[in-house]
Amino acid sequence: MRFKLIVISILMALLSSSCRQEEEEPQQQQTRPQQQTQPQQQVQTQQQANAGVNMRTGVVQEVLQATSYTYLKVKEGDRDIWIAVAKRESEVGETISFSASLEMKDFESKDLQRTFESIYFVDRIVSGESRGAGAGPESMEVPHQMKPVLEKKEISIEPAEGGITIGELLADADSHAGKAVRIKGQVTKVNRAILGKNWVHLQDGTDALGKFDLTITTQEQVNVGDIVTFEGTIALNKDFGAGYVYEVLMEEAKLL
């Protein structure tokens, strides 16, 4: 009898232990997803922290004001650099952060009558210490845009003698690459003294592949609304950095 009681006690103990294990397993399974999500949260936090990695920070040493740009001599670490930004107020001793820099070598500013051995045209700038991931787009200043939002004009202009239309150029740009082309059209926008050039947008009423505007770089002076004839060399996929890429560009154009 005593032997039977001992056997029954052992069986009940084993059964109780098994039940406890089955109750503990779901709890362990529930904790596993939380443990697995921790690395993901760490990755997200790291990605947010890296959002400001491309920002550069320096202290303004000198300020030169020109017509369209403010030129700043900035001490970045142990070196001095020059940067240019759309005209703004700035003071010596101010700490600024900037990004998306386009470096130009031997850049001549006609306004300042000065040539910079090296200068960076910056896309964004923010005052104060580097804000890293906390600095959102709303805190940045966006400089003078070379590529505006364009609207097709209701115009119809006959091509110049010996020239072609904008539509013909855009429809067969490859065959004109590296060649001098003559275009007549109406000036729809002008950005002056950017990277040492005037940037003129021209339309003549024609289009191709949904495109109707031709960008021209020139030293000539024209105004919005002028009907002009330009002759210049066609360049394709011209990349000036900082997001300014032109599929078709007429360079160093002259007025005829």
Helix (H) or strand (E) holding 86: strand 79-86
Mean pLDDT for 105-129 is 82
pLDDT at 107 over 60: yes
Residue 37's region, left for phi above 0, alpha for psi from -120 to 50, else beta, is alpha
34 Cβ partners below 8 Å, 6+ apart? none
Q: How sure is the predictor about 2, in pLDDT bands with cuts at 50, 70 and 90?
A: low
| Cβ-contact 170, 217 below 8 angstroms | no
| Alpha-carbon dihedral angle through residues 171, 183, 254, 233, given to the nearest 10 degrees | 20
Spatial distance between the Cα atoms of 206 and 216, rounded to a whole number of angstroms:
17
> Mind listing the pLDDT tens digit for each residue in 118-142?
888 886 788 764 344 333 433 333 3
Domains of the chain, start order: 56-139 (2.40.50.140), 166-255 (2.40.50.140)
Mean pLDDT for 72-85 is 90
Spatial distance between the Cα atoms of 40 and 37, rounded to a whole number of angstroms:
5
Give the tokens for residue 235.
């360049």
Helix (H) or strand (E) holding 157: none
The pTM for the full model equals 0.49
Mean pLDDT for 15-28 is 45
Q: How sure is the predictor about 191, in pLDDT bands with cuts at 50, 70 and 90?
A: confident
14 Cβ partners below 8 Å, 6+ apart? none
Q: How far is CA 122 from CA 90, 117, 195, 217, in A?
A: 15, 16, 12, 20
pLDDT at 179 over 90: yes
Percentage above 70 pLDDT, the chain: 68
In this structure, the number of other CB atoms found within 10 A of the CB of residue 95 comes to 15
